Amino acid sequence: MANFVPVECFDLIIFGGTGDLAMRKLLPALYHRDRDGQLTGDSRIIAASRGALTRDAYLAEVEASLRANLREGEFEAKGWRAFAERIHYFQADAFAHDAWSDLVSALAGFEDRVRIAYLATAPSLYGAIATGLRVNGLVNAGSRIVLEKPVGHDYASALAINDDVGRCFAEDRIYRIDHYLGKETVQNLLALRFANSLFEPLWRRGAVDHVQITVAEALGVGGRIEFYDKIGALRDMVQNHLLQLVCLVAMEPPSSLGHDSVRDEKMKVLRALRMIEGEAVRSRTVRGQYAAGAINGATVPAYAEELGNAGSTTETFVALKLEIDNWRWSNVPFYVRTGKRLHSKHSEIVVQFHEVPHSIFPEQKYNVQPNQLVIRLQPDEGVELTVMAKEPGPGGFELRPVSLNLSFEETFGIRYPDAYERLLIEVLRGNPALFMRRDEVETAWQWIDGIVAGWQEAGQKVESYVAGSWGPSGSSLLLDRDGRAWQADA
Ligand code: BG6
């Protein structure tokens, strides 16, 4: 990372401190920021959770998890000892507010420093924890609260959570995380669109034929399978990550990077998304669930087998055709898809431009392919622009698509920081631009609820797909009907 400007001294309380998110993502991210000198003075990381644990026992868990989750060579004894000094542990049950006295005493006398509560727990606890902070007098003028996604499981539950938390914290103190907004390439999308004049005139109907967004995972659901079975891919991934990507691709240029400028533009896109309801779900949505298969040569069981319930109708894959009802994107479909146990971990945004209006290379006319801009989110983050070129040599024109290919890692030659490193620093600095505002979350849920209701009314089944493939055949058909194909599968 280019700059490691230290952040003001803080107390960061992580509720759900023993959980998977804290162990796998938050603490490794904080460790990196500490090693790069961004955490200053005696800033503290105060883990809180239901269980009774001594500080030493907690530190042993953190150390083991850092060793397991950091890349080779990143764990370093001296750095760990310094980081461990910052870490404390207190027992705090979300609902037993009068039993938070140890936590309250640890924070007494530190009212002047930046105080952040990070809720890395189930969303059903958000209201109770926010209330616990308020009734225990732990909310001060500078306090911020961070909510992990998902904020609720539908519009009604999101509204209730936002109301509960909103009674304790002002909206500008609430940071709703969507970690995709912390990914370097996602931010690079802003740089690509708004720090270059090249693309803007072409970034619209007339020049763009359609947009594809793929977020494919090779992994399955892992230890979260029971939770996931109640949620499915639409709510787990589309409501947040994919819709945020759609917003960043489709939004109008904001007037600044100021937090409300960007969020106002994203909101306009969410409002312009055509609802997919009723019968439209049949032609515009595909649901899939993985059957047994093989990924990278290793066999993997079916979702239903992993779950131990052959009757589950939860989707582990979803593909949608979206329409954005505004001038810029009229009649330019956005195809989005995401799924577990797909061919490989592969996420990208493809902006497909129109064919040339008239080919002057008649005998090669089928070779002239439309330009494509591919923004690769993972792996190998980068941007690739496909243009047609003439193959060298005499004897007529042989045309071939070639790539102007920018790999960020090769170009900048640095370790790519995890999204959480960036987002935690933004919270500590008090910059909410990369976080979701209440209206964004609620509007996204209303749109998702329409699809869920449509699925129920239409009795839309999940199509089976072989683990290790690119999803069910319905997903290819979704584009095939429009004379198109998914780029990544080619
Ligand atoms: C999370 C989802 O928000 O994002 C997970 O709940 C998913 O199901 C994960 O695996 C994907 O994140 P990334 O950064 O690995 O693409």
pLDDT tens figures, 71-103: 888 999 999 999 999 999 999 999 999 999 999
| Two domains, one topology: 10-148 and 181-417+434-480 | no
Output the CA 340–ligand 1 centroid distance in Å: 10
Phi then psi dihedrals of residue 76, to 5 deg: -145, 130
Ranges of each domain in the chain: 10-148, 181-417+434-480
* Catalytic residue selected from 153, 179, 241, 343: 241
Output the CA 326–ligand 1 centroid distance in Å: 30
pLDDT band at 394 (very low <50, low <70, confident <90, very high): confident
Please name the residue whose Cα sits nearest to atom 4 of ligand 1. 237
Which pLDDT score is estimated for 1? 44
Q: Which long-range contacts (CB under 8 A, 24 or more apart) does 170-175 make?
A: 171/437, 171/438, 172/432, 173/143, 173/144, 173/145, 174/144, 174/145, 174/147, 174/438, 175/144, 175/145, 175/146, 175/147, 175/426, 175/427, 175/432, 175/435
| Distance from chain centroid for Cα 108 | 36
pLDDT band at 365 (very low <50, low <70, confident <90, very high): low
CA distances (Å), origin 77, targets 35, 180, 210, 478: 11, 31, 51, 53
Contact 401, 387 (CB under 8 A): yes
pLDDT tens string 179-208 = 999 998 888 899 999 999 999 999 999 999
Regarding predicted confidence, which is higher, 361 or 58? 58
**Mean pLDDT value of segment 307-336:** 97
Instruction: Write out the two tokens for 10.
Output: 């803080």
Report the alpha-carbon distance of residue 51 to residue 237 in Å, rounded.
30
Asked if residue 217 has its Cβ within 6 Å of ligand 1, the reply is yes
Handedness of CA 355, 361, 364, 367 (dihedral sign): negative
Q: For residue 414, is pLDDT > 80?
A: no
Please name the residue whose Cα sits nearest to atom 15 of ligand 1. 217
Q: For residue 159, is pLDDT > 70?
A: yes
Three-state secondary-structure class, residue 126: helix
Contact 348, 375 (CB under 8 A): yes
Could you tell me how many helices (H) and strands (E) the chain has, helices first? 18, 17
pLDDT band at 407 (very low <50, low <70, confident <90, very high): confident
Ligand 1 pocket test, candidate residues 217, 225, 378, 422, most atoms within 8 A of CB: 217
Atom of ligand 1 nearest to the CA of 347: 16
Report the alpha-carbon distance of residue 489 to residue 463 in Å, rounded.
18
- Domain 181-417+434-480 adopts which CATH fold? Dihydrodipicolinate Reductase; domain 2 (3.30.360)
Instruction: Write out the two tokens for 292.
Output: 């047994």
Q: For residue 3, is pLDDT > 70?
A: no
The superfamily in CATH containing domain 10-148 is NAD(P)-binding Rossmann-like Domain (3.40.50.720)
Phi then psi dihedrals of residue 87, to 5 deg: -95, 135
CB-CB neighbours of 450 under 10 Å = 19
pTM over 0.85: yes
Which pLDDT score is estimated for 303? 97
Contact 442, 267 (CB under 8 A): no
Report the alpha-carbon distance of residue 388 to residue 419 in Å, rounded.
35
DSSP state of 26: I
Active site residue 358: no
